[in-house]
Amino acid sequence: MAMNPADATIDADELLALRLRALAHPARLAILRALAQTERCQCGQIVRGLTLAQSTVSQHLKVLKEAGLITGTIEGPRSCYCLDRETVAMLADELLPLLDLLAAAPAQGSGADNPDPRADALV
Amino acid sequence: MAMNPADATIDADELLALRLRALAHPARLAILRALAQTERCQCGQIVRGLTLAQSTVSQHLKVLKEAGLITGTIEGPRSCYCLDRETVAMLADELLPLLDLLAAAPAQGSGADNPDPRADALV
DNA sequence: ATCGTTTATCGTCGATAGACGATGATTTCA
DNA sequence: TGAAATCATCGTCTATCGACGATAAACGAT
């Protein structure tokens, strides 16, 4: 999955950001939810379900596909899109620990009163 | 949290997309991780930890603040930023069911061979 | 009162996102 | 073979992002 050359020099955070960015649009959220229900979905069905032009929907599908969240196969004159549930699960596995880390109390020793917390841990 | 007037006409997906978009940048991920460690962090520490101009970091902080993910308070000549762990937790609570839904097998009855799946469930 | 420090904001620039219509490619059906 | 349907891609337009330097604002220290 995701073997196009542009990914060669992508670090983990860039890939995560790419996928989050793919999620970060109401139309794409709607598309993903629709795919979650029907498993296989033709482009036209998605277009009819949204109030967007066909070309716009096609571009959203392309973004989702480039992020690896969906797969698209051509079937005759139409295209069949499917969720890539494996990639979604991988994203979840990456995202949940991160959100846990962010929501949890900070590690001991770097309390609020520390006048000199190391900021070098950033990069 | 997030009471600025622009939010008045925002639906749930737009708010979710706004927050995902705030997450979807490597620099902002790094900032959030740093804040997770130290709880209270001055802007200057974050700037020194990244290889970005101070003004750029300030803009990233603004994006995170507008998404409600962090809070910023002025303390004398400097600013103290904190994670809004409550909002992060709320985001996680919204995101996890969504990712579960996307990663899980589709609901029965809308199988692959159904020639006429309803697509109206989209909007 | 002035200077230095720290941070936010402004203005600018190039790049990208998001929308659309038009066009093209491909396949099915008559 | 020709016509219709379906979808991807192209070109265009506007708006926003992401980066920077320069500047302004706020405060502490001298």
How many CB atoms are closer than 10 A to CB B20? Answer: 23
Question: Using 50, 70 and 90 to split pLDDT, how confident is the model at B110?
Answer: very low
Asked if residue A77 keeps its beta carbon closer than 7 A to nucleic acid strand C, the reply is yes
User: Could you identify the residue whose CA is nearest to the C1' atom of nucleotide C7?
Assistant: B78
| Domain containing residue B58 | 14-98
CA distance B62 to B74: 13
- Is residue A119 in a domain? no
Asked if residue A52 keeps its beta carbon closer than 7 A to nucleic acid strand C, the reply is yes
Q: What is the pLDDT of residues B41-77, one digit of tens each?
A: 889 999 999 999 999 999 999 999 999 999 999 887 7
- Is residue A55 in a domain? yes
Q: What is the pLDDT of residues A22-53, one digit of tens each?
A: 999 999 999 999 999 987 888 999 999 999 99
- Is residue A21 in a domain? yes
> Which carries the bigger pLDDT value, residue B32 or residue A77?
B32
- Is residue B108 in a domain? no
> Which of A18, A29, A88 has the CB atom closest to B17's CB atom?
A29
Please count the structural domains in chain A. 1
A vs B, Cβ pairs < 8 A, gives 169
* CATH number of residue B38's parent domain: 1.10.10.10
**pLDDT (0 to 100) of residue B51:** 95
Mean pLDDT of chain B: 83
- Is residue B77 in a domain? yes
